[in-house]
Structure 1
């Protein structure tokens, strides 16, 4: 490829001029009646749900492990972890394969909706609540047309001590 065509290619692959400055992309998914969003950069792939191999003496929200092309991947049911009323497995149930701190982890959700580009103006701060429920993983609430999207720090959630999925990282308590 000559340099002029390489230069032209770079110009065409730039983000569209209509993309908001500091916009971020989020994968939206459903857990029960609620819609959530996570940073698309943490998503490795989306797979149909297959029953994992159960492991004894793990919390109920850790469903087990699956073999993903030679990598043993722990599978967490986010519906159970986040105390959703029900966790039914059907044709829409999927596993979002995440890369968290260099480790591959699967997250079971009811369904995946789409990828949304959100500008900072569309994201409101997470409300502070006096509750025993840990809401520290909620980073904001986004308004998209008629939809409310709960934005999550999936990396922090999957790295939490109660998950037991990550080794202690340098500088992280």
Structure 2
């Protein structure tokens, strides 16, 4: 025999499942808390009562914290760039080692910075410097090969004489 509370939790869980089934776009961001039958947002930790579908709809459509978290949920900040890394002290920020700039930890801000004038200019300068260094290395190694070949030709001339 189940108690009144257990029946209520079961009914809430069923309502929560129905609510998630009706909103498949947001279902991945919510889980049903079995102990008391509420919906919990996995992105923000916010709990919602499934008996109030209007509250769920309002939260999903107009809550800024949820909107930002949902937008950033599929974005991989770790493998984005070797220069843009998590900030050491401020967990809500990213830091760009190339431009020495702190960025908000949002997909939009990071993309704006990555495609921005300052970052692109520094990347181009760095690339140019690397190409110049590679060119100098190549020129040096070619000169070594020429010297070696010239030395062999001189030795061959002396042998022939």
Give the alignment's TM-score, normalised by structure 1.
Answer: 0.23
TM-score, with structure 2 as normaliser: 0.24
Instruction: State the structure with more CA Rg.
Output: 2
- Between Structure 1 and Structure 2, which shows a larger proportion of helix residues? 2
Q: Which has the higher contact order (CA 8 A, sep 6+)?
A: 1
Question: Greater strand share, 1 or 2?
Answer: 1
